Amino acid sequence: MPEECLFCKILAGEIQSNIIYRDDLVVAFEDVNPQAPHHYLIVPRKHIRTTLDLSTADNELIGHIYQVAGKIAHDMEFAEEGFRVVNNCNEGAGQSVWHIHFHLLGGRDLTWPPG
């Protein structure tokens, strides 16, 4: 675990977060600066820096993340109205934490294109 990784620290319980889901592969918690009524971060337990660092060994993990996103949206009852899963890769796309994560956004109308 990289010592300075914020999300590794959250996953290890060293930094407080409001965890809403956890399993063997991922943890999901509330974003500290929510952009929608529902805004969660789905984070693999495995430290992967960016989308560009994924390998074929991670294919199952990424599929699992989308399964989890749908399950959370369903269980929290915002699936039917619509939700969005977003992964920002590199600074130009807005990535600010260097441990791969997937934003799950819902609970309001989501405009397109995103900013």
What is the set of active-site residues? 101
* Binding region for ligand 5GP (CB under 6 A): 6, 17, 29-33, 41, 88, 94-97
The 3 state secondary structure assigned to 69-84 is HHHHHHHCCCCCCCEE
Stretch that binds Zn ion, among 16-24, 36-44, 69-77, 97-105 (CB under 5 A): 97-105
Closest by alpha carbon to 26, among 68, 60, 80?
68
Give min distance, CB of 101 to Zn ion, in A. 9
Question: What is the DSSP pairing of strand 102-106 with strand 38-44?
Answer: antiparallel
Binding residue for Zn ion, selected from 22, 46, 47, 108, defined by CB under 5 A:
47
Tokens 């290890």 correspond to 12
Binding interface with Zn ion (CB under 5 A): 5, 7-8, 47, 99
